[in-house]
Structure 1
Amino acid sequence: MSEKPVPGRMTADGDGEVVVFLIGMRVNSWWAVRSWLPVFLAMPPMIKELARDRGRGVLGYRFVPGLSRTSTLLQYWESKEKLLAYAADQGGEHRPAWAAFNRRVRSGRGKVGIWHETYVVPAGSYESIYVNMPEFGLGKALGIVPVGGRGERAAERLAA
Structure 2
Amino acid sequence: MFAKPIPGRTTAAREGDAVVLLIGMRINHFWAVHQWLPVMLSMFRMLGELARDPDRGLMGRVLLTASPRTYYVVQYWESKEKLYAYASAVGLLHHKVWGIVNRKERSGRVRGHVGLWHEAYVAPEGSYESIYFDMPEFGLGAANGVVPVERRGRYAKDRFAHRSGSATP
Same-fold call, TM cutoff 0.5? yes
- The residue type paired with residue 88 of structure 1 is S
How far 1:104 sits from its partner (Å)? 4.0
- In the alignment, which residue of structure 2 is the partner of 1:61? 61
- In the alignment, which residue of structure 1 is the partner of 2:123? 121
TM norm structure 2 = 0.90
SS of match in other structure, 1:97:
helix
- The residue type paired with residue 39 of structure 1 is V
The size of the alignment, in residue pairs, is: 160
Segment of structure 1 superposing worse, 93-102 or 40-49:
93-102
- In the alignment, which residue of structure 2 is the partner of 1:21? 21
- In the alignment, which residue of structure 2 is the partner of 1:141? 143
Unmatched tracts of structure 2, length 5 or more: 163-169
Q: Distance in 2 between matches of 1:148 and 1:111?
A: 49
State yes or no: 1:35 paired with 2:35. Answer: yes
Which digits, 9 at most, give the CA deviation of each residue in 1:22-66, with x for residues without a partner? 000011111111111111111111101111111111110011034
How far 1:78 sits from its partner (Å)? 1.0
TM norm structure 1 = 0.95
- The residue type paired with residue 34 of structure 1 is H
Report percent identity of matched pairs.
55
- In the alignment, which residue of structure 2 is the partner of 1:132? 134
Segment of structure 1 superposing worse, 130-139 or 95-104:
95-104
- The residue type paired with residue 120 of structure 1 is V
The root-mean-square deviation of aligned C-alpha atoms, in Å, is 1.1
Segment of structure 1 superposing worse, 105-114 or 1-10:
105-114
Q: Distance in 1 between matches of 2:2 and 2:66?
A: 20
Q: Aligned pair in 2 of structure 1 residues 29, 103: CA closer, same or farther (>3 Å)?
A: farther
> Given that residues 15 and 124 in structure 1 are in contact (C-alpha distance below 8 angstroms), is that contact kept between their aligned partners in structure 2?
no
How far 1:7 sits from its partner (Å)? 0.5
- In the alignment, which residue of structure 2 is the partner of 1:8? 8
Q: Distance in 2 between matches of 1:104 and 1:38?
A: 13
How far 1:20 sits from its partner (Å)? 0.6
Give 1:71-86 correspondences, 5 Å limit.
Answer: 71-86=71-86
Unmatched tracts of structure 1, length 5 or more: none
Q: Distance in 1 between matches of 2:113 and 2:103?
A: 13
Which of residues 150, 157, 167 is equivalent to 1:155?
Answer: 157
SS of match in other structure, 1:108:
coil
Q: Distance in 2 between matches of 1:114 and 1:65?
A: 14
